[in-house]
């Protein structure tokens, strides 16, 4: 049995978390989490996510992270569905504004077809 499956089976929190796991617990993005851990390593600020370097890896010690949160961590990390963005390529945002007869646009328009030199 692998270590990870043993941890998940027992429900124990590992002593070192990955930055992605810490980000999931805080419900913040990976970019912010990595930047915050880098600032902590550089400055030791109490306002940043506590982290250490293990070789090239960045890890978040559980005890320091729980002190940062002010509460114990529950494990396993609950899955959170992120809402999809209503960007320009989203069908849902446009469907209410377009008439029923107009086709839905699923992607940005591509290049114009090449001109045909000979008709066959």
Residue 24, in any domain of the structure = yes
How much is the pTM?
0.58
Please check whether residue 45 is in contact with residue 39, taking contact to mean a CB–CB distance below 8 angstroms: yes
Total residue count of the chain as it appears in this document: 120
Which residues, in sequence order, are CB contacts of 16 under 8 Å at separation 6+?
A: 52, 54, 59, 60, 61, 62
90 found inside a domain? no
Per-residue pLDDT tens digits for 102-118: 555 555 566 666 666 66
Its domain, for residue 61, covers: 8-69
Q: How many domains does the chain have?
A: 1
User: Considering only 4-8, 40-44, 109-113, 116-120, which range has the smallest mean pLDDT?
Assistant: 4-8
């Amino acid at each position: 049995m692998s270590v990870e499956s043993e941890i998940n089976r027992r429900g124990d929190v590992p002593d070192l978390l990955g930055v992605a796991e810490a980000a999931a617990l805080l419900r913040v993005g990976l970019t912010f989490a990595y930047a915050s851990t880098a600032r902590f390593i550089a400055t030791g600020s109490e306002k940043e996510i506590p982290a250490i370097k293990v070789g090239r890896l960045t890890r978040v010690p559980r005890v320091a992270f729980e002190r940062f949160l002010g509460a114990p961590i529950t494990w396993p990390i609950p899955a959170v569905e992120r809402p999809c963005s209503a960007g320009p390529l989203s069908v849902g945002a446009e469907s209410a504004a377009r008439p029923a007869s107009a086709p839905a646009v699923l992607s940005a328009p591509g290049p114009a077809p090449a001109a045909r030199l000979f008709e066959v």
